[in-house]
A and B are shown apart, each in its own frame.
Chain A
Amino acid sequence: MNFALSEDHVALRDSAASFLDKEVDLSPLLKHGATVADAGYDRMWGKIVDLGWPAMTIQEAYGGLGMDCTDLIMIVGEMGRTLAPSPLFGTLAGSWAIEAAGSEEQKERLLGAVAGGELKLALAVASPAGDLSDPGAGVNSKRADGGYVLNGCKGFVVDAASADTIVVGAESDQGNRFYLVDANAPGVSIEVLDWRDITRQVCSVSFNGAAATLLEGSTEGAWEWVRDRLYLVLAAESSAGIGVVLADAVDYAKQRTAFGKPIGAFQAIKHQLAEIVGQRELANAAVQYAAWAISSNAPDASKAVAMAQSYASDAYKAATYRNIQVFGAIGFTWEMKNHLYYKRARANSELLGSARDQREQVVRMLEREAA
């Protein structure tokens, strides 16, 4: 038993932190009216590829670095801490879908291209209304000319406009399957949504007879396998986000004075911030355990990631709310970055379903264990 991060993990995290502290510039987003189009969304991608981040969890056999999810969250946490606008989420999601549903040949070719920085991905699973319970909902596939064509619509696709290829969940006469669609192909239209979290690109994608390739190893459980990993990604972002909004609020509470003393001397402020310390510690433990459970194929890995995502997203919302409250009215202005975290927290608590959805998953697992 050893809950401590290894020196390698710490080094990985520290190098990601210094890279992102230098590269991420949120200032264009702090001008009234800014949208994700002002975020420089693809600006850092070349450097991120040079650092090997898209290749981290891809197996060495497919040209990746063969690292595990604990390594990955060192990077993802720092992306969350800095709100780095970059399409890593979509590429991770698409890569995992290919790993779960692709044939050997497809994995070798596509994951090799991702690892080499030649391919950016997105994963389209939600229905136009945002339902994630059926990964094929909203789009159907038909055989045509030895391949497939897709028709229909997908909602809330992260990083679709940045992607070269979109992995799409669609209904077929074989059940739900995953397909590859060239993002620039005829019949594919991508609309960037006016998503409130302007540090993340979220799109709706419609398919009108778009040519598609079946991921030949597609099985019914593939989405759950991918979703578990995405839970971990969002939870790691949220957990790191709690740390930064707490630290910002504490710094402000030490500087800002009222009634002759720093506002951090008032118990009304102190007690609320102390609460966040407890939540930060639990979220952090949840994420590290979940990453270890996924990496080591622990039998409770699915439960661990659902627990981490539900806890961390609720706690992140509470922490960003408290952060704005401590800053007072200035924290409510567009020119401050507080709202960017508040919005990221809100988005992270919906993007893969609500905290309550994940709790329901946990209870069902407990009911199955008890049966």
Chain B
Amino acid sequence: MDFNLPGENDPRRVEIRRWFEENPSPTYKQIADRGLAAANWPAPWGLGADPELQYIIEEEFVRAGIPTPHSINAIAVNQCGQSLLAYGTEAQRERFLPPALACDEIWCMLFSEPSGGSDVAAVRTTARREGDHYIINGQKIWNSAADYASVGVVVARTDPSVPKHKGLSQFLIDMKSPGITVNPIHDMTGEKPEYNEVFLDNVKVPADRLLGREGQGWQITVEQLQTERAGMTKPGAVWGFGPTARELVHGLIETGKIKDPQFRDEAARLYIEGELLRLLVYRGMSNRINGTPAGIEGNVGKMVASPHGQQISDLAKRTQGMAGLVRNPDVLPLPDKSYGLFSNWDYSFWFGPAATLGVGTQEILKNTVAEQVLGLPREVDSTALIAFADANKPNIQAAA
């Protein structure tokens, strides 16, 4: 057992750092060509990096002051791009991956729908084959980056005559296609909208944009959501990102607010939980290096990390009392570090309720952990075994 993280003189680190020194302001194309955009992917896309090397690369991006490609093009680099390696055609990889990794084409995910959040498989958007095209119709919601993305990864129903999990397919669509309307959603933060709703009205998609086979959509979607959850287990304020309890404690020490006995104990409790979440992240890395199957850690980690993040933003807010109710991005001093969206406590706090909603509500996650980790009985879904077309007829649902 060895808990030492890769050190300053680690030869892998030295090599990466030298590249950043020789290329102080690289383009994202250069970064991608060097294999650093998705280092964990196999060549020629990445370096086939193990999690330790990934950790080093991440740190060197921070040191160089360059936002990582996965923070700019998260859906392509983190969640969905890898599906092309497993399920895509050679032509799809050549067409989509180079511009995605170079951050020239931003991707968005078009999964959730107004009629079903937690019940992801109950997708109503349809894709109908017509000659060498599919025609897609439906409405999607909670889509980050849809307002500026070039590529949309859409889950649609290609076969309503089979049960809901079996009739889904995934497509890579051109977001500039006729028939796509994107509207921003003004969320409760009142800040620049993060999410959009997307209407798909007879959108014509070439048949070669189908990812994998018809009916494989659910399998691909589940893998992508697992990947997304695993990324959300860090100790930051919102979905693992943003300021952590470490920074909260530093801010409280700097302002003297740590002297308040109640804040003090709560801050310590959160600090400890945050450090332990960090250990879980490292343990996950270590498991992957050792080839131990990942499986549960994403779900368990997110289940702990989401309320943890809400609690640290809440404490940061409460230490400000009434003053914390005034819109103000500088509630407590934070280190001069960019966290993108979540660079201040104020936004982290008001965005907080989303943390236990997005990418699976807390309740769905707990079901998943109870069923998959503890082997407790699965929730009965009366619509899972009947044709999707029949699932919304009340009499059939009652009988099932």
Contact = CB atoms under 8 A, between A and B. Distances in A.
Contacts of A362: 268, 271-272
A262 B282 CA distance: 36
Interface stretch (B140-148, B317-325, B345-353, B364-372): B364-372
A356 B265 contact: yes
B273 A311 contact: yes
Nearest to B2: A2
A46 to B, nearest CB: 31
A264 B300 contact: no
B304 interface: yes
A264 B376 contact: yes
Contacts of B369: 274, 277-278
Contact of A2 (B267, B290, B375): B290
Contacts of B249: 363, 366
Interface stretch (B3-11, B118-126, B175-183, B195-203): B3-11
B280 A285 contact: yes
A9 to B, nearest CB: 7
Given A277-B300, A293-B3, A362-B268, A370 B250 contact: yes
Interface string B1-38: 11111100000000000000000000000000000000
Interface in A243-283: 246, 250, 253-254, 261-262, 264-265, 267, 269-271, 273-275, 277-278, 281-282
B366 A275 contact: yes
Given A278-B304, A362-B268, A366-B249, A2 B279 contact: no
A269 B277 CA distance: 24
A262 B367 CA distance: 15
Question: Majority SS of interface residues in chain B?
Answer: helix
A249 to B, nearest CB: 9
Name the interface size band of chain B.
35 or more
Interface in A317-367: 356, 359-360, 362-363, 366-367
Interface of B: 1-6, 52, 249-250, 253-254, 258, 264-265, 267-269, 271-273, 275-277, 279-280, 282-283, 285-287, 289-290, 292, 297, 300, 303-304, 363, 365-367, 369-371, 373-377, 379
24 contacts: A1-B2, A1-B289, A2-B1, A2-B286, A2-B289, A254-B376, A265-B376, A267-B366, A270-B366, A270-B370, A270-B371, A274-B365, A275-B303, A277-B374, A282-B279, A285-B276, A285-B283, A307-B272, A359-B265, A362-B272, A363-B249, A363-B264, A363-B268, A366-B271
